[in-house]
């Protein structure tokens, strides 16, 4: 006799299902995730807050320090009135899918919980190694995948015409 184990739907699947649920289930989810009665009958409001709570619960499991780091940044903003520059840590949260089109081909990379990246079923320790695999050249992985803006190291060309008086 074989036993079938089913895994719970992913957070993304749970969120995608919210608009299809009857209002009674939305209220039950609210009570389970937030507690108490729903503060409004506005379904869109409730779905958004439920989606946030589902993600919050899931990502706290994946990276317990994520919300704590964000809370410290918020407290620093309130205290100083300034947003501190982000650390040079461009690692996306586990489960993030990075998509990059290069020479007409779309490439997908998935960030894993252990800080590595899954590219075509192979694990890589850095995005730069994947960018090199794709292009054949050395690239900054965070730059290649759009996690970091390009630096303006090169001066912009002058708009003045030379030789004109």
- Ranges of each domain in the chain: 11-85, 97-144
Q: Residue 148: its pLDDT value, please?
A: 78
> CA–CA separation, 129 vs 121, rounded Å?
14
> CA–CA separation, 75 vs 88, rounded Å?
20
Q: Which residues of the chain have pLDDT under 70?
A: 1-8, 60-67, 83-90, 152-165
> CA–CA separation, 71 vs 61, rounded Å?
16
Torsion of CA 89, 90, 96, 102, to 10 degrees: -150
Q: Residue 117 pairs with which residues in a beta bridge?
A: 111, 124
Q: Residue 155: its pLDDT value, please?
A: 45
Pairing label, strands 105-111, 117-119: antiparallel
73: CB partners within 8 A, 6+ apart: 84
> CA–CA separation, 136 vs 123, rounded Å?
18
Q: Residue 165: its pLDDT value, please?
A: 45
Structure tokens, 118: 């899954």
Listed residue (58, 54, 87, 53) closest to 70, CA to CA: 87
Q: Residue 160: its pLDDT value, please?
A: 47
Q: Using alpha carbons only, how large is the chain's radius of gyration in Å? A: 23
């Amino acid at each position: 006799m074989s036993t079938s184990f089913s895994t719970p739907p992913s957070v993304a699947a749970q969120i995608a299902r919210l608009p299809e649920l009857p209002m009674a289930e939305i209220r039950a989810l609210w009570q389970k995730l937030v507690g108490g009665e729903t503060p409004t009958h506005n379904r869109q409001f409730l779905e958004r807050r439920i989606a946030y709570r589902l993600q919050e619960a899931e990502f706290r499991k994946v990276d317990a320090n994520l919300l704590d780091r964000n809370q410290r940044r918020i407290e620093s903003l309130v205290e100083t009135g300034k947003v501190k520059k982000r650390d040079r840590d461009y690692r996306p949260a586990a489960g993030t899918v990075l998509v990059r089109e290069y020479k007409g081909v779309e490439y997908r990379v998935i960030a894993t919980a252990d800080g590595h990246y899954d590219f075509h079923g192979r694990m890589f320790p850095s995005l730069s190694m994947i960018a090199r695999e794709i292009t054949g050249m050395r690239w900054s992985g965070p730059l290649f995948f759009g996690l970091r803006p390009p630096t303006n190291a090169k001066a912009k060309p002058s708009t003045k015409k030379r030789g004109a008086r």
